[in-house]
Chain A
Amino acid sequence: MKILRRIWAFVNRSRVESEIEEELRGHLEMRASDNVDDGMSPEQAVRDARLRFGNPAAMKECVQAVDFALGLESFLADLRYALRGCLRNPGITVVAVLTLALGIGVNTTFFAAFDGIALKPLPVKDAQTLVRFEQWMQSGTTGDPQFLVSWPEYLFFRAHAQAVTDLMAASRLISVVGIPEGATAENGISLQGQVVSDNYFPSLAGSAAAGRYFLPEESQPASAPAMVLSYPFWRRQFQADSAVIGKTLKVNGQVFTIIGVAPREFIGSGAPPLVPDFWAPAAMQSYLEPGHAWLQQTKDAQVQLLARLNSNRSQAEAEMLLLVEQWGQSQQRTDKTIAVTLNRATFFGETNALWFRGVVAMLMGVIGLILLIACANLTNMLMARGTMRRHEIAVRRALGATRKRLLRQLLTESLVLGLLGGACGLLVSFWASHLLQVVLQQLVQSLAVLGGAAFSIDLTPDLRVFAYTLFLSLLTGVLFGMVPALQFSKSDGTSALKVEGATAGQQISRSRLRNLLVAGQFAVSLCLLICAGLLLQGLRRSLSVDPGFDITNVFFVGLNTGPQPSAEKQRQIMDQLRAMPEVAGVAASIKPPGTGTFGRQALIEGNNGAEVAVQGGALGDIVSPDYFQTMEVPIVRGRNFTREEAERAAGVAVVSAATARRFWPGEDPLGKRFKLDLLSNNNWQQFEVVGVARDARNANLTRLDPVFFYLPEPPNQFLGSTLLIRVKGDPGRSARAVVDALNLSDPRLQPDLVSLEDGHMRLQRLLSQMLAVFALLLAGLAVPLAGVGIYGVVAYLVSQRTREIGIRMALGATRGGVLRLILRQSMRPVAIGACIGFVLSVAASSALHAFLVLPGVPDVLFGLSFLDPEVFVGLSLFLAGVALAASYIPARRAMRVDPMAALRYE
């Protein structure tokens, strides 16, 4: 209100002025005429009125000052002054703005990521009413099981739920090999499909970008398979050509007709935040996963649920919980659901989970620390500059400026710097968010478990991000400006006009604080740098790592085995291939290497009969006996299991050498026994170790499998439609010969071959490359932060001690002596910081390694020791060198101090 009035007065300046004049004149005239009424002469009356009133011109100015918002004017003056100050010290301004830009940029980027993950609604129709079903177990199980239910359970809920409408189901992403119409089998592509309920598209997506969505009859089991493509896949594979509608795409050999393309903004329903390449009706599930049809399985939890809330949330949650309990009673479920939540659906499923909040809080802390360090740097720099400004401030105080007024001016200056830094930080974060998105995209595509799906998180900044940046800029402006502003404005005129104003005690405590800041920021910078170094070492190793099996001559073969594949047919095809001169070996396995493995609960039998559970579950694969020969994984001890053993379902297994070392160190692993819960239904099967295979990197190229079991195929079980073939001679020509032979024997097979090297292996190597990019970013932050911080402090130190140095030099100190003095003093906090940073880095590295206890977790360091001396010592020395260089610049200035000038100064 006040401000509006003032602006109004500003705009109507002449009118307001004349009104003031009229009001004052009116007063004088009224007093004069009253005086005349009291019997004074007219001249006397006017004189008396003027005497009582005071100086009319001065009063008029006073009133004008009130009306014309001199507060606003003085703010503008402060602003002008601050900007002039920035221009006068371009060096300090540039360093300050860059430091802040880094600090704010990193924080804004992180916030943009958090925003994209946890705050932004899904880009679907009516995102506000869309909720995701999540159940909370008595056993405390978290993660995927909270979201997943079986298909029959879904149908039960859908039939009975009243408080929600449009109950939808979507499967996880299913990795398949697809061949577009007209492409040859060698050009098969790895695709991610998702099967969805019939109401998924009508409820969630706007009108199709091309074609249409599924018709009701297309969701019936007997209908012809159809698929809807995702926009990114359509663009990537078909260059957004709408002629693709009506064409076919072969998935696992089954022909699907492409009937439509989802709109550009529809990038799936999140959790995990991946965009499938295509969607298919749930009825087509068995084509995508031959050998694993789950639509009828009441205990096979495979789909997650989304719904529209049409009543209040708690009522709907209570109803769903009741339905879950009813269903659980009919199914004798072992775990009990104690609560159901229906939270607004975001890209990421677990944003309410404790671990997610913990991770966010931790990262926020670390990244906030970077900004805090940047602020500390600037505080130091402003303090250094402040000593030069002491005179100016003293003069201002002497001329009558209040402390409040000075504080306002000093804070305006730091706010201007803060806002400039924030603006640059926003630019940094635009760029960094974009980079992050690209990197995450690549990273996700390189993770074999996810099979190369597109990442669906949108990191473009929205209003929330801008508001956050503005908030941060103002906050940092106040934060780094407050201490110097308070300090300078505090000094009263007399002491500030003296040379060394502050008392000795104050100075010592302040310099200790400053040293602490330097030590802290050196520690954090060193920690960042060492993490970066470790990741870069990981990259170096990843390029030369040996997976432990042959990848150049081995091909995946995807076959169209139809909806009812038989083990006999598979056997036949394998025998036929084995007879070919180009083929050196054929094997079948449930999970070909590099496509991830299954993790199962395992119990290892010790010598005394006690059973030890394998932490995090065991990795393994079900393979045909010729697997070891085909993949060139030698059996180093004992023997392979035989076809005869496989056929009579003997409980025998081959384990990896690492498994033997881990569970039976110094003992003969042959004859040892272990139990596996193969179907995760508490039905334990016992196996006896008959052989030990050389270590390999089946689950993950990043590390040797810590626990890996090779189990024989159960009799007469179809092992998936993928075969492994090792060819002889020229791989390309031999592969073509295999395709031709298969086509000749049965045209329905429509085989496609992808070599292991071109398949998942190459993508896995990308992982470490992307991490290396992150590492470089970290390093790019750490080095300038440390450098700028130390520079600021030493510069301050030198400016404080100019006089002292002058005296020392006048008394005969050499330049070298002065240099040593300054450097010694500035390197002390650096040394302390290095020690703290060392400890921090060891802790960070240990935390990274602690995760490796779980067998399936990728090792981003590719087996690097967590205390790699090269990295730890080398980078510590490097950063110390940076610190030394940063303090050398101001130290040199100290060296050049002219004793006479320094003594005359002040």
Chain B
Amino acid sequence: MARNDLQGTLDLLVLKTLAQVPALHGYGIVLHIQRASRDILQVEEGSLYPALHRMELSGWLSSEWVASEGERRARFYKLTAAGRKQLDAAEKSWEQLMTGVQAMRSFA
């Protein structure tokens, strides 16, 4: 069965973001999700961080403090190989869910 919940969705969004943009800080991820979803998806910004840290501990992400010129330093996140694999699994699971919901809706 396709397993999905709010947390799973957030994971998928973050992983997908980092697959599209190589390295981002938390705020950047929020902006990217908002922009890429044409303002449809608005993440509760604070709840992003426990998820980021959890994914890092799971080995899906790696992080690094980067100080760019003239700006304050920020923690940048990158996708790891394990993260890429997890992204595949999450996408598959999501698609299954979608197919399931679709089938359900079109059931006469």
Contacts and interface: CB of A to CB of B under 8 A. Distances in A.
A2 B50 contact: no
A25 to B, nearest CB: 9
B57 A63 contact: no
Contacts of A20: 49, 53
Interface stretch (A47-55, A97-105, A386-394, A779-787): A47-55
Contact of B45 (A1, A31, A67): A31
Given A2-B58, A24-B46, A27-B26, A63 B72 contact: no
Contact of B50 (A6, A53, A66): A66
Contacts of B59: 1-2
A238 to B, nearest CB: 66
Interface residues of A, number: 25
A66 B52 CA distance: 10
Contacts of B49: 20, 23-24, 27, 59, 62-63
Nearest to A16: B53
Which of A20, A24, A63, A65 has most chain B Cβ within 10 Å?
A63
Contact of B72 (A19, A24, A29, A55): A29
Nearest to B28: A30
Contacts of B65: 19
B89 interface: no
A58 B45 CA distance: 13
Interface string A17-50: 0011001101101110000000000000000000
A581 interface: no
Interface in A58-80: 58-59, 62-63, 65-67
Contacts of A333: none
Nearest to A57: B46
A30 B25 CA distance: 11
Contacts of A52: 44-45
A247 interface: no
B102 interface: no
Main secondary structure of the interface of A (DSSP, over half): helix
A776 to B, nearest CB: 57
A59 B47 CA distance: 7
A17 to B, nearest CB: 12
Contacts of B44: 52-54
Which of A19, A23, A26 has most chain B Cβ within 10 Å?
A23
Given A54-B45, A55-B46, A63-B49, A26 B57 contact: no
A874 B6 CA distance: 70
A26 B53 contact: no
Contacts of A62: 47, 49-50
A85 interface: no
Given A1-B59, A6-B57, A53-B45, A26 B50 contact: no
B74 interface: yes
Interface in B65-108: 65, 72-75
B75 A59 contact: no
Contact of B75 (A23, A31, A65): A23
A56 interface: yes
A881 B13 CA distance: 71
B57 A23 contact: no
Contact of A30 (B27, B53, B54, B58): B27
B7 to A, nearest CB: 12
A26 B74 contact: yes
B86 to A, nearest CB: 14
Contacts of A23: 25-26, 49, 74-75
Which of B44, B57, B75 has most chain A Cβ within 10 Å?
B57
A27 B27 contact: yes
A786 B6 CA distance: 54
A59 B46 contact: yes
A56 B53 CA distance: 15
Contacts of A30: 27, 74
Contacts of A66: 50, 53-54, 57
A726 B7 CA distance: 98
Contacts of B45: 27, 31, 52-54
B75 to A, nearest CB: 5
Interface of B: 25-27, 44-47, 49-50, 53-54, 57-59, 65, 72-75
Given A23-B75, A59-B47, 15 more contacts: A1-B59, A23-B49, A26-B27, A27-B45, A27-B49, A30-B74, A52-B45, A54-B45, A56-B46, A59-B46, A59-B49, A59-B50, A63-B53, A66-B54, A67-B53
29 contacts: A2-B57, A2-B58, A2-B59, A19-B65, A19-B75, A20-B49, A23-B26, A26-B25, A26-B73, A26-B74, A26-B75, A27-B26, A27-B27, A27-B45, A29-B72, A30-B74, A31-B45, A52-B44, A52-B45, A53-B44, A53-B45, A53-B46, A54-B44, A56-B46, A58-B46, A62-B49, A62-B50, A63-B53, A66-B57
User: 10 smallest A-B Cβ distances: which pairs?
Assistant: A54-B46, A59-B46, A62-B50, A66-B53, A53-B46, A30-B27, A53-B45, A27-B27, A66-B54, A63-B49
